[in-house]
Homo-oligomer: A and B are copies of this chain.
Amino acid sequence: MNIPTKNNLKRIVIIGAGFAGLQVAKKLRRDKFQVVLIDKNNYHTFQPLLYQVATAGLEPDSIAHSIRNIFKKTKNFFFRLAYVHYINTDKQKIYTNVGNLNYDYLIVATGSVTNYFGNKNIESFSLPMKSIPEALNIRSLILQDFESALLTKDIKEKERLMTFVIVGGGPTGVELAGSLAEMKKYILPHDYPDLDIQSMNIYLLQATSRLLDGMSKKSANEAYKNLKELGVIIWLNCLVKDYDGKIVFLEKNLKIESSNVIWAAGVKGAIIKGFLKEDLMKNRILVDDYLKTIKYENVFAIGDVAYMKSYPNGHPMTAQPAIQEGNYLAKNFNQDLNNRKDIKPFVYKNLGSMATIGRNKAVCDFPYFKLKGFLAWIIWMFVHLVSLNGVRNRVIALTNWIIQYLNYNKSVRLIIRPFYRKNHLKKS
């Protein structure tokens, strides 16, 4: 892969530039290690704001940050745009689409992928939202559907085009539903005066008995109330069994006709080939209290893909544990703690969680108190702004939010690359 070897420096290869991989790469001492970061994109994606890209509130470029820009002028650091095919822990080697590379230490930070729970139909016909191109596909599709709804004389077809089903009532599903409901309220009636926007339906389907499973009951109830007020149809205890591109099949013979199903029902670890079955737990890589894999002395895993044995059900697959794990691991490496006995185990510190439902509406659970409404919304914005990478992205995102707040608009409703449905649906 054309990376010079330095005899005096051990090489650490990090796979994945999400929250975890980026953090450990930033914090590792480059006077002690040669750091190679590999990702299939040349940018880091700020996933918590993907839903705003999908609903035309933010341009994609404001939640993406060039990895080379983050690490410019950084010594002993190498970025490679590559897709890792598999790893060989015996040979200490990774194999990618642009060549092979040896490592002294490997840090797997591959994150997670959308989990369809094995249903191929749902995988084919629904839209995931884990990456910027996927969020842009949703943006294009929403807008294309309304253009199509204007033209069709088939009432059934029009209803299907104007019905949006979001599966999964976690933060992603809740925030997306809220944002879509605001489009319905403030924007679409002006954009499509010929359409009866009231007949647009937004469903939020959740498999368990409450929204926001990871948050407090109080916040979940507040989110439920806010979404109801915005006109979102929320079905709890509702399992999606199948989807054929036109009809969502639920339990008890219930059905929803919709051309637009957004799948936010779950994620699973993005495992690389080369790990054995016993290395894994619930589709994530088993790690000990020091984030080291169980069997391989020089292989570590952090972020969504890591499953710490001692923590019940593993850490939440969110940004916070990922960043904390990245920090912790870098510190251990920098202090050479991996070779010492007095190393302290990783302890996840839950700083709280939050979700926004719409204009002036959010819920925050902090360790000692809970917040809702306007103040929660302001805190939500502040936390997300300072978490964005780079001054430019912060300024651009803030500018967008201020303008949106003032004029009730989401300006970037552009179909820059149209999204085409699977073939046999195009005919319908």
> Interface of A with B (CB < 8 Å)?
1-2, 41-43, 59-62, 64-66, 68-69, 72-73, 78, 80-81, 98-99, 132-133, 136, 143-144, 147, 150-151, 153, 190-192, 194, 390-393, 395-396, 399-400, 403, 407, 409, 411-417
Q: What are 20 A-B pairs at a CB distance below 8 A?
A: A1-B151, A43-B414, A59-B59, A61-B61, A65-B411, A66-B191, A66-B412, A68-B190, A68-B192, A69-B411, A73-B190, A80-B147, A98-B151, A133-B417, A391-B403, A391-B407, A392-B403, A392-B411, A396-B399, A399-B399
In the complex, the answer to whether B392 meets A400 with C-beta atoms within 8 Å is: yes
- Chain B: minimal CB distance from A6 (Å): 13
Given A98-B151, A395-B403, A415-B43 contact (CB < 8 Å): yes
Q: How far is the CA of A417 from the CA of B64 in the complex (A)?
A: 13
Whether the Cβ atoms of A69 and B191 lie closer than 8 Å is yes
Q: Contact: B42 with A414, CB < 8 Å?
A: yes
Chain B neighbourhood of A59, CB < 8 A: 59-62, 396
How many copies altogether? 2
Decide if B150 touches A2 in the complex (CB within 8 Å). Answer: yes
Shortest CB–CB separation between residue A38 and chain B, in angstroms?
Answer: 12
CA–CA, A133 and B392, complex, Å: 23
Q: In the assembly, what is the distance between CA of A60 and CA of B132, in Å? A: 14
Residue numbers in B under 8 Å from A61 (CB-CB): 59-61, 411-412, 414, 416
Contacts of A411 in B (CB 8 A): 61, 65-66, 69, 390, 392-393
**Residue pair A413, B191 in contact (C-beta under 8 Å):** no
Contact B396 A68, beta carbon cutoff 8 Å: no
